[in-house]
A and B are shown apart, each in its own frame.
Chain A
Amino acid sequence: MDAEMLASALRMSTPVLLAALAGLWSERSGVVNIGLEGMMIIGSFWGAYGSYAYGPFWGLLFGMVAGLLLAAIHAVATVKYKVDHVVSGVALNILALGLTRFLCIKIFNQATASEHTRAFATLNIPLLDHIGFLKPLVTKVSPVIILALVLVPLSSLVLNRTVFGLRLRSVGENPLAADTLGVNVFLMKYAGVLISGALAGLAGMFLSVEHTGMYVEGMTQGKGYIGLAAMIFGNWNPAGALGASLLFGFAEAISIRAVSSVIPYQFIKMIPYALTLAVLAGVVRRAVTPAADGVAYERGGE
């Protein structure tokens, strides 16, 4: 294993990490967000368009706003109209698929891919970039990767140390108690879901603009779901999500690099997904879900 491999793992982890953080923000407020995949798809498309048309900064903004808007539908459906969270999320995933293809034909005159986009200028980490063996890991790093890593302690801090975080978590645990204490339950849930959408959009934008250099249909490859698995594996904590994402990223890096004449290539490609299954089957039993996750809150319904 070398630093090159680690750098690849880190790049592979980033969309999963962002998706996991996205899921975490939503679920800590008590809303299950299985629409992450759709929000990533929409983020990857609009990120690519923004970056193609106006440059990477606008790509980032477009991607996040697109994810946020899709999440807004999820929020209104689940929080206001008490639609089952899974049903709403799956519907959004389907909507995102159809919508991006439609927009892609309209904007790029082809169904499944965009034009090439402009990525952010990469960064070298000062000081560390002089250490020889670390070089692949700390040079030419996408700023979005750094942003994703910064979001881990930031999410932790906001969730655990601020008034906003305390209230958001309380709503995911016991909305009735929170309501009787004057916490605006619906506002907190909206906030959780919208933050979730923006982060999922960012995850999609990273895939298209930073990682691939263009939007391609199907490029999310279920990373939204893997992100959810990472969130659960990480026990709904940002630091845990980081660890889990790195594990998944590493599995993916291996699946790309491993070449074998014995094992058929399809089986190697399976590694990250098989790992997801194994993790969900094995670890989830010990996970502690937010107590009111996925449950609609109705006022006056004691």
Chain B
Amino acid sequence: MISIKGVTKRFPGVLANDHISLEVREGEIHAIVGENGAGKSTLMKILYGLYQPDEGSIELRGHPVRIDGPARAVALGIGMVHQHFMLIPRFTVLENIILGHETARFGVIDRRASEQRVKELAGQYGFAIDPKAMVATLSVGQQQRVEILKVLYRGADLLILDEPTAVLAPQEVTELFANLRLLAAGGKTIIFIGHKLDEVMEIADRVTVLRRGQVVGTMAAGETSREGLAEMMVGRPVLFRIQKNPCHPGAPLLSLDDVTVAGVGGTARGHGRGHGVGGSQGPAWRTRIARAAVDGLSLQVNGGEIYGIAGVEGNGQTELVEGIFNLQPVTSGRVMVLGKDVTNRPTAQIRAGGIAYIPEDRHRRGLVLPMSIWENLILGSHRRREFVRRALLDRDRILGHATKLREQYDIRLADMDAPVLALSGGNQQKVIVARELAQSPQVVIASQPTRGLDVGAAEFVRQRLLEMRDAGRAVLLISADLEEVLSLSDRVGVMFRGKIVAEFPAEEATPQLLGPYMLGGAAPAEMEIPLADARGEGGEARV
């Protein structure tokens, strides 16, 4: 179907793709795996015409092709389903699908004909979707189907899916895989980019592993194992089970008592002017939901334990965390840290009470990107006496402190004075983790602490969180990565529509058990759950 021959792409200082050659066969599902920075995205962008290769060639069905832009890629039958959906929330499904490829008479869109075509296409591949629905009201899984339909509508035979499962709940993954198999059976060729090896093993016919811009190997999925792939990816054997000491829970350090955060508008405003470009911040779309984002939630985290919150993103996790820190007002209920009521206290005062915050969005909440690394390392503790001399910041002492953190947390940087935006994502995250944990907090709230990090950096951050736990601190972990929640936590709560709908000890929790609760009830996977009706189901399961 498509052959990539010796494709090389250089960026200043980086060899992103180093003579990559691989062949994708007609009608197969071909997975491409690799760590962050292995060159997967670059390669896909070349296939989709967003980048031009410096060397090498691409052949489509035996003919050499030059893909000089996305429009050319589309014309050649190549379609891309982006990891961050390229959808317009305020448009209908139909409008999103036809945009750029409209059927029109005298410039006026022929809605009936377009709708007919979309319905046929959806029916053909078993996508249940209403063309007239507004995208903002759809679940993430449904939005992804819209993205796939967009690509099919443009007549793609080769679909590139960039980490399509990253945003999905386990049941939605199952549905997606069923859709993908149907597409492959219908003659479509699929390139599946991923890093969750279980999923890759499940869906792919063949797998290509990339490491540092080179192809390590291509093999049939049946001929390899998860461990084998991981070793190829990282270049050394990888431990999948995190070594954990037994848990010795102490006194409750963080308790949330019937907390409600209205949330509507809060995030949306922040994402509005200035942040909305690309529309990639999913939760910003959920502005029309009238219900409170956090709806009478109660939980307790004890010293010496990690409490993990599992759940599909957009179920109030962001608002919960921001409510705890009074970045959004708590409309009712109480937030207690170390036995003291800190509900809606000034954020600085809450933090001074011994609670640290690793925010989910490190660019928006975690760092001041244009400021230097040392400045970012003391943000929030800049008022501490040891950093101040005669009302000015004491640069020497701060630099000493920063250098210590840099060694301790293995932050790789060239220059302390460089802006923090010059660092890689993994090192930026280490700056935040170092800053937050350096205050020796009693309670740590870690929201998506390893998002976007590669295997090595993620492992590092997880180890730090475990250290905090072993030192008797309380850790509240919120993560969209279910595997992370399950492997780190001592107790797991499932959050759905602003409530903890079920709670399990870590030993009992499995993806199969949690999945239905994440989707709002113990409904079987195949069932389409209408959003309005699922509300509050599963409430009985509260432990």
A residues at B contact (CB < 8 Å) = 161-164, 166-167, 169-170, 173-178, 180-183, 285, 288-289, 291-295, 297, 300-302
Contact = CB atoms under 8 A, between A and B. Distances in A.
Given A166-B99, A170-B99, A288 B273 contact: no
Contact of B86 (A174, A295, A300): A174
Given A180-B70, A180-B86, A294 B273 contact: yes
Interface of B: 50, 70-71, 74, 80, 82, 86-91, 95, 98-102, 104, 107-109, 150, 265, 272-274, 276-279
Which residue, A162, A180, A300, A301, has most C-beta atoms of chain B within 10 A?
A180
B188 to A, nearest CB: 20
A158 B45 CA distance: 35
Contacts of B272: 289, 291
B86 to A, nearest CB: 4
Contacts of B82: 180
A302 B71 CA distance: 18
11 contacts: A162-B104, A162-B107, A163-B109, A166-B95, A173-B90, A174-B279, A180-B80, A181-B99, A291-B88, A291-B89, A292-B279
A154 to B, nearest CB: 13
B90 A291 contact: yes
A178 B86 CA distance: 8
B276 A295 contact: yes
A169 B277 CA distance: 14
Which residue, B87, B100, B109, has most C-beta atoms of chain A within 10 A?
B100
A178 B80 CA distance: 14
Contact of A183 (B99, B108, B273): B99
Contacts, number: 90
Given A170-B88, A170-B91, A174-B86, A292 B277 contact: yes
B474 to A, nearest CB: 37
Which residue, B87, B273, B277, has most C-beta atoms of chain A within 10 A?
B277
Contacts of B277: 174-176, 292, 295, 297, 301
A161 B114 CA distance: 13
Nearest to A297: B277
The 7 closest A-B pairs by CB, nearest first: A181-B100, A177-B86, A174-B279, A182-B100, A291-B276, A173-B88, A176-B278
B99 A292 contact: no
A293 B109 CA distance: 24
A285 B268 CA distance: 12
B278 A174 contact: yes
A294 B274 CA distance: 8
A167 B100 contact: yes
B86 A166 contact: no
A205 B273 CA distance: 33
A169 B98 CA distance: 13
Contacts of B265: 285
Contacts of B99: 166-167, 170, 177-178, 181, 183
A290 B26 CA distance: 42
Which residue, A173, A177, A297, has most C-beta atoms of chain B within 10 A?
A177
A170 B88 CA distance: 7
B276 A292 contact: yes
Nearest to B41: A302
Nearest to A295: B277
A175 B107 CA distance: 21
A163 B90 contact: no
Contacts of B100: 167, 178, 181-183
Contacts of A183: 99-100
Contacts of B86: 174, 176-177, 180-181
Contacts of B102: 163, 166
A169 B102 CA distance: 14
A162 B90 contact: no
A161 B94 CA distance: 13
A177 B279 contact: yes
Nearest to A178: B99
Contacts of B279: 173-174, 176-177, 291-292
Contacts of A301: 277
A75 to B, nearest CB: 19
Which residue, B90, B102, B276, B279, has most C-beta atoms of chain A within 10 A?
B276
A259 B89 CA distance: 50
A133 B4 CA distance: 79
Contacts of A288: 90
A293 B89 CA distance: 15
A180 B99 CA distance: 10
B104 A163 contact: yes
